């Protein structure tokens, strides 16, 4: 073991982490355009995705199972205790996200954060406790089924889009995964909310492809990292801290994820539809400071033709 540690310090080999990815193959080859022209030196930019809104759900926990702390010699870590890991409070949220941009009609920046809603309801407490009498309204989790999901999309997501989305784009493409409750969003449902000049269409993302949704790709993780900085015990605490983290994140964080999303699309093309690749690092922060950040990621034309 000592020999391995010495070689690790010398740099003979490196420590790397890997994550389990779903088995996924996208049939991209059939969609490529055959050509005989020499296009190796040409590149095109990805679409800006101004009309696309990604929708997804995520569980947000009150606490991590494990935390790293830094202590001075002789100091003991603070005691953290729960009855069991299964009893750590968690709440599922629904969030739609669009690409940030400047809204000319409003004269302000549209931050892309359409909204975020917990799947909860207020119900009377069945039993009394030392904190409240029986019958007091308490926040309880809601089981997300097709009816609940359709209700949230129609009554929360769509009105929020109409209220905040730049009016220059009134045709909106909603993208979500293939979870069973999502099948409740049919063409008839979308037609019922396509009023006042708005048109809503639904696009299913490829199965087992979380990297093709900006929320799963990084935005949810950014919210979670901020939410963990607040102490949470109850359902109301988790809701409060998660929504505060959502509001605190700048639009630049979401813009960064959209650029990474375009880079992931390029990697999917480079790997013939497979997902065996490392997430790209585009040095977006340094490019932004230098005023050189690209508007869209470019893609070689050779990846788009046969």
Tell me, yes or no, whether 71 lies in a domain: no
Tell me, yes or no, whether 163 lies in a domain: yes
- State the residue for tokens 């991209």: 28
Tell me, yes or no, whether 275 lies in a domain: yes
Instruction: Supply the DSSP symbol for 100.
Output: -
Tell me, yes or no, whether 32 lies in a domain: no
* Separation CA 225–CA 108 (nearest Å): 28
Tell me, yes or no, whether 131 lies in a domain: no
- State the residue for tokens 């494990």: 66
Write down the pLDDT at residue 40: 56
Overall size of the chain counted in residues: 306
Tell me, yes or no, whether 137 lies in a domain: no
> From first to last of its 306 residues, what are the pLDDT tens digits of the chain?
678 778 778 777 777 776 676 665 554 443 444 444 445 568 889 999 999 999 999 999 999 888 888 888 888 888 888 788 888 999 999 999 999 999 999 999 999 999 999 999 999 988 888 888 898 898 999 999 999 999 999 999 999 999 999 988 899 999 999 999 999 999 999 999 999 999 999 999 988 888 999 999 999 999 999 999 998 989 999 999 999 999 999 999 999 999 999 999 999 988 888 888 888 889 999 999 999 999 999 998 888 775
The count of structural domains within the chain is 1
* Contact criterion met (CB below 8 Å) for 112 and 49: no
Tell me, yes or no, whether 35 lies in a domain: no
Tell me how far apart the 2 most distant CA atoms of the chain are, in Å.
77
Tell me, yes or no, whether 33 lies in a domain: no
Structure tokens given for 285: 């922060």
DSSP three-state, residue 62 = coil
Domain residue limits at 237: 46-63+88-115+145-303
The C-alpha torsion from 223 through 239 and 159 to 152, rounded to 10°, is: 100
Instruction: Supply the DSSP symbol for 216.
Output: I
**Domain CATH code at residue 269:** 3.30.420.10
């Amino acid at each position: 073991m000592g020999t391995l540690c010495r070689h690790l310090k010398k740099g003979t080999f490196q420590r790397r982490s890997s994550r389990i990815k779903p088995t996924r193959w996208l049939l991209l080859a059939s969609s490529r355009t055959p050509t005989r022209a020499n296009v190796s030196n040409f590149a095109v930019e990805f679409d800006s995705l101004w009309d696309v809104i990604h929708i997804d759900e995520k569980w947000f926990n009150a606490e991590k199972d494990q935390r790293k702390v830094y202590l001075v010699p002789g100091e003991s870590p603070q005691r953290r205790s729960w009855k069991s890991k299964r009893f750590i409070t968690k709440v599922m949220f629904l969030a739609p996200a669009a690409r940030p941009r400047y809204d000319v009609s409003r004269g302000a920046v549209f931050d892309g954060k359409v909204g975020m809603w917990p799947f909860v309801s207020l119900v009377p407490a069945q039993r009394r406790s030392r904190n409240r009498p029986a019958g007091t309204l308490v926040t309880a989790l809601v089981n997300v089924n097709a009816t609940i999901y359709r209700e949230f999309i129609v009554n929360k997501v769509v009105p929020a889009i109409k209220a905040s989305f730049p009016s220059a784009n009134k045709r909106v493409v909603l993208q979500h995964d293939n979870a069973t409750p999502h099948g409740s969003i049919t063409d008839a449902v979308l037609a019922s909310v396509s009023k006042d000049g708005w048109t809503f269409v639904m696009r299913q993302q490829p199965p087992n492809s979380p990297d093709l949704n900006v929320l799963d790709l990084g935005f949810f993780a950014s919210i979670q990292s901020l939410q963990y900085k607040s102490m949470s015990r109850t359902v109301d605490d988790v809701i409060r801290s998660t929504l505060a983290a959502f509001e605190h994140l700048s639009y630049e964080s979401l813009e960064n994820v959209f650029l990474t999303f375009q880079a992931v699309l390029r990697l999917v093309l480079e790997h013939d539809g497979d997902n065996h690749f490392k997430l790209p690092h585009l040095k977006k922060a340094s490019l932004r400071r230098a005023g050189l950040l690209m508007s869209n990621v470019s893609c070689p034309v050779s990846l788009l033709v046969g």
